[in-house]
Amino acid sequence: MTVANAEPKTSSVLSLCTNPWPSALAPMQDVTGLPFMGVIAECGSPDFYFTEFFRVYPNSKLDPEILSSITRNPSGKPIFAQLIGESIPNLDRIARELQQFSIAGVDLNMGCPAPRVYKKNVGGGLLKDSRKIELILKSLRREVKSLLTVKMRIGFEDDRNFEDILSILNDCEVDLLSLHTRTVLGGYRTDPDHEYVARAVERLDCPVLLNGNVTSAKVAYSLKCQTGAAGVMIGRSAIRNPWIFRQIREMQLGMPVFEPRMNDLYKYVQNLFVALGKPEMDDRRIVGRIKKFLNFVGLSVCPEGKFLHQMRRSSTPAELFRICEKFMISEGLAFQKLNLEPFDSLLARPSQESVES
């Protein structure tokens, strides 16, 4: 990887951050809503939040549940409202509506790798059409009076449009790029190539947040230094270790870095369970909901994948918490340090605990 020597670009985005450099919670659909934001805020907030995406299409309305993460933001930190869509008049319309609320800016999703999304030529599907991206961003730039930001991957199936899109981001005066360094078709299985962040830092007039396999505070610091990124955006690793933003801040300030124990992790799971529950949900649905999170938490619990295997087969809260107690509390485990990096060979896929399985 080429070491980027350039200083991070200054902008009004970075002026929103009171720390030496910013960290951000990545937007993850059906995950990073208001309940999870509240749990993360208790563990240590990032500098920036991004909402789950507002789906934009003719006659679409603002999703009230996603909107609550703006109107009831528990952290007081800047929050960006993310849009996904390709209809320019409707993207403009929703951007205008969102600016009536207390947001730091509007973010365009150009990276979602879900096939049901990109097959509609939105999210990551936009990366196949540079001209469409240019038309969307030019129009949004006229409508968005606050900050206009973009989250994208390096390309759809390859990087053929990468340089052209960087030029478009400059021409449209985008205020911040969050760059996930995989292709859309690469999903989450391929290795990220952070060299693309260094290339973006060199080309763009705006700051760049590095996204993709930022697994710990140490890795965040190392990748920032290597690429010249202005900061980091973290998604799945923040589910696994909700103290990661606190640890980054403590590392930045030269303070002792918090080392969570397994009993801290157990309390985190308890807090997640309470936060994710809704009055209309029965126990089975709540257990199913929290399993989405525990698929990532489990990557730091048991190196053999036994926690993942047993957790995924639980069906009641009592059964689920018996398994959590077994692997996090019982037999002296409570005061064991949490493994800050995921164990090798474990997978967060619901059907597999490890590469071997």
Query: Which residues belong to the active site?
Result: 112
* Cα distance between residue 214 and residue 319, in whole Å: 32
Q: Which residues have CB under 8 Å from 74's CB, separation 6+?
A: 34, 37, 38, 41
Q: What does the block give as tokens for 148?
A: 């206009």
β-strand partners of 233:
24, 211
Helix ranges (DSSP H) in the chain: 34-43, 64-71, 88-98, 115-118, 130-143, 162-171, 195-203, 217-227, 236-240, 244-252, 262-276, 283-297, 306-312, 317-328
Q: What does the block give as tokens for 31?
A: 């995950």
Cβ atoms of residues 143 and 135 within 8 Å: no
SS3 state at 345: coil
Q: Which residues have CB under 8 Å from 207's CB, separation 6+?
A: 8, 9, 10, 11, 13, 14, 176, 177, 229, 230, 231
| Other beta carbons less than 10 A from residue 331's beta carbon | 8
Cβ atoms of residues 244 and 221 within 8 Å: no
* Cα distance between residue 337 and residue 106, in whole Å: 39
* Cα distance between residue 241 and residue 267, in whole Å: 12
Cβ atoms of residues 74 and 34 within 8 Å: yes
β-strand partners of 231:
209
